[in-house]
């Protein structure tokens, strides 16, 4: 029995030790390493962490791929060797944002030193206003301090200054707070790994001093990076990077270590709808019927209608697929639909607008709203005199603007009416023609 008890303890010990990995110098990249990664726009929950976790992100959808290429200083720019000697490796890294139109920064590289105790950034090089400029860190930025294990926390300052000839100086000062706040298993579309989860918070200010003006422009540039680190993988097997401004975290990049993949084709949707009636009175209820394709569960809908003299009814609203609407004033109503489909690496969106789509009049008790009166309206568009002819005697002619306002009305007892529209503003109007047996509507453009 005692042997079984000891064996069980040993088994637990080895399982525990194997699960809680340690990250050391041997897990870091070296010159010549090229590691592929994929990017995604899927949400990654960074709030859940702790001991013995299982982070399952096997369903991430890629929207692109890239390569991290770890180069020698000599291969980046031979002139940089004079500033940094021979550090361990260099990699592209957008250290400085473009904080001034007077300073154009491109081809940014960070230069790393790797020891048994840490990995730190000791140098920076970039093309600034077309001139390659290297700069050694005043205080090196320690990215990792070894050994990395669950529960480790460390805080280190860093600082970098770059003099731009005949212009001024770029300056970066910050402090990095590292916290290994979780361990367990992470599952990505590439593989399953035993890992540590590292949260790295950079409290940083970037500034630009203009010598000629004696002024300094400074902006906060706080960042939070979440990394899932595994043995022998060179780069994080999963990484989420974002900006932290005024307590609001905005993700700027999500990526994971990967092999060669072909990104899926972009997913597209087409917004569309129809009204069950496009001519109605203020007593009628109109249904806007969704016809967007393809149908995808989770798609969101947003209708907008102008003018705003209407109400959504029967428990519907502007964010349902097929709302119902009552109009409270006559006029020409324009209807738009915006949809967002969650399918694909990048959510697909689509918009459609139907201008002057629904014609609304006051109720009259006449059942045949659009009785065929053999209506003739000319010229249309019109800029001077509009003429209306029908096969029956006209009793009333009105023009209604897009706000539902009746801006002109003529009573008559003939089959032809002519009147001037010079006093009206340019735009689209609704012409309403009434006879003893019916009512007919037509759009008229005044220009």
Query: What pLDDT does residue 6 have?
Result: 42
DSSP line for 36-66: EEEEE-S----S---TTEEEE-TT--EEEEE
How confident is the model over 96-110, as a mean pLDDT? Answer: 78
Let me know how long the chain is: 447
Higher pLDDT, 174 or 107: 174
CB-CB neighbours of 155 under 10 Å: 12
Asked if residue 143 lies in contact with residue 29, where contact means CB atoms within 8 angstroms, the answer is: no
When mean pLDDT is compared over 14-28, 48-62, 347-361, 418-432, the highest value belongs to 48-62
| pLDDT given for residue 130 in this prediction | 82
Answer for the pair 178, 144: CB distance below 8 angstroms, yes or no.
yes
Residue ranges with strand state E in 93-214: 105-114, 118-128, 131-145, 153-164, 168-187, 192-210
Q: What percent of the chain has pLDDT over 70?
A: 91
**Pair of tokens at residue 316:** 């519907």
- Count CB-CB contacts under 10 A for residue 181: 18
Average pLDDT over residues 34-61: 93
User: Is the per-residue pLDDT at 2 higher than 80?
Assistant: no
Q: How much of the chain, in percent, has pLDDT values that exceed 90?
A: 48
pLDDT of residue 371: 52
Is the preceding peptide bond at 381 cis, omega within 30 degrees of 0? yes
Question: How high is the pLDDT of residue 344?
Answer: 54
Burial group, residue 316, by CB count within 10 angstroms (0-12, 13-18, 19+): middle
Are 440 and 279 in contact by the 8 Å Cβ rule? The answer is: no
Output the pLDDT for position 267.
74
pLDDT at 89: 92
pLDDT band at 346 (very low <50, low <70, confident <90, very high): low
At residue 296, φ and ψ (nearest 5 deg) are -130, 125
Q: Alpha-carbon distance 366 to 433, whole Å? A: 13
- Please give the average per-residue pLDDT across 206-212, as a whole number: 85
| Cα–Cα distance list, 23 to 195, 196, 241, 246 (Å) | 9, 8, 20, 32
pLDDT value for 152: 97
What CATH number has the domain spanning 376-446?
Answer: 2.60.40.1930
Domain ranges of the chain: 21-257, 273-361, 376-446
Is residue 234 over pLDDT 90? yes
Find tokens 């109605």 and name the residue: 280
**Concatenated DSSP letters for 57-110?**
-TT--EEEEEEEE-B-HHHH-GGGHHHH-S-SEEEE---S----TT--EEEEEE
Evaluated on CA atoms 72, 78, 80, 82, the torsion sign reads: positive
Q: Quick one: fold of 273-361?
A: Immunoglobulin-like (2.60.40)
Beta bridge partners of 435: 394, 438
pLDDT band at 319 (very low <50, low <70, confident <90, very high): very high
Confidence of residue 373 (pLDDT cuts 50, 70, 90): low
pLDDT at 445 over 50: yes
- Quickly state the pLDDT bin for 97 (edges 50, 70, 90): confident
What is the predicted pLDDT for the residue at 100?
A: 65
pLDDT tens digits along 129-188:
888 889 999 999 999 999 999 999 999 999 999 888 888 888 999 999 999 999 999 999
**What is the average pLDDT value for the chain, to the nearest integer?**
86
298: Cβ contacts below 8 Å, ≥ 6 apart: 341, 342, 343
């Amino acid at each position: 029995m005692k042997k079984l008890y000891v064996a069980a303890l040993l088994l637990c010990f080895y399982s525990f030790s194997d699960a809680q990995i340690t990250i050391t110098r041997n897990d870091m990249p070296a010159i010549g390493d090229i590691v592929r990664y994929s990017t995604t726009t899927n949400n990654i929950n960074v709030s859940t962490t702790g001991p013995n976790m299982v982070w399952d992100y096997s369903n991430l959808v890629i929207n692109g791929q890239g390569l991290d290429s770890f180069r020698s200083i000599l291969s980046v720019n031979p002139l940089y060797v004079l500033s940094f000697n021979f550090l361990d490796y260099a990699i592209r890294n957008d250290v400085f944002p473009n904080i001034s139109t007077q300073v154009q920064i491109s081809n940014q590289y960070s230069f790393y030193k790797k020891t048994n105790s840490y990995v730190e950034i000791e140098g920076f090089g970039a093309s600034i206003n077309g001139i390659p400029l290297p700069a050694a860190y005043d205080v090196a930025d320690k990215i990792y301090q070894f050994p990395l294990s669950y529960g480790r926390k460390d805080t280190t300052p860093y600082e970098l200054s770059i003099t731009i000839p005949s212009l001024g100086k770029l300056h970066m000062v910050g402090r990095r707070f590292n916290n290994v706040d979780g361990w367990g298993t992470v599952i990505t579309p590439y593989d399953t790994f035993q890992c540590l989860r590292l949260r790295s918070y950079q409290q940083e200010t970037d500034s630009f001093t203009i010598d000629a003006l004696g002024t300094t422009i400074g902006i906060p540039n706080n960042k939070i990076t979440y990394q899932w680190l595994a043995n022998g993988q060179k780069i994080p097997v999963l990484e989420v990077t974002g900006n932290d401004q005024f307590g609001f975290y905005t993700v700027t990049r999500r990526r994971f270590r990967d092999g060669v993949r072909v990104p899926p084709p972009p997913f597209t949707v087409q917004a569309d709808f129809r009204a069950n009636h496009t001519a109605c009175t203020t007593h009628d209820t109109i249904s806007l019927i969704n016809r967007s394709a393809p149908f995808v569960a989770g798609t969101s809908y947003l209708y907008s209608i102008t003018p705003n003299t209407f109400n959504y009814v029967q428990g519907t609203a502007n964010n349902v697929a097929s709302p119902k609407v009552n109009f409270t004033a006559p006029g020409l109503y324009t209807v738009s639909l915006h949809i967002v489909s969650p399918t694909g690496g990048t959510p697909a969106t689509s918009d459609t607008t139907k201008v002057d789509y629904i014609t609304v009049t006051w109720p009259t008790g006449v059942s045949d709203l659009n009785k065929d009166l053999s209506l003739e309206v000319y010229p249309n568009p019109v800029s001077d005199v509009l003429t209306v002819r029908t096969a029956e005697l006209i009793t009333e002619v009105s023009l209604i603007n897009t706000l539902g306002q009746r801006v002109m009305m003529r009573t008559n007892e003939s089959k032809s009416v002519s009147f001037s529209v010079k006093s009206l503003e340019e735009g689209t109007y609704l012409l309403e023609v009434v006879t003893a047996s019916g009512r007919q509507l037509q759009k008229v453009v005044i220009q």
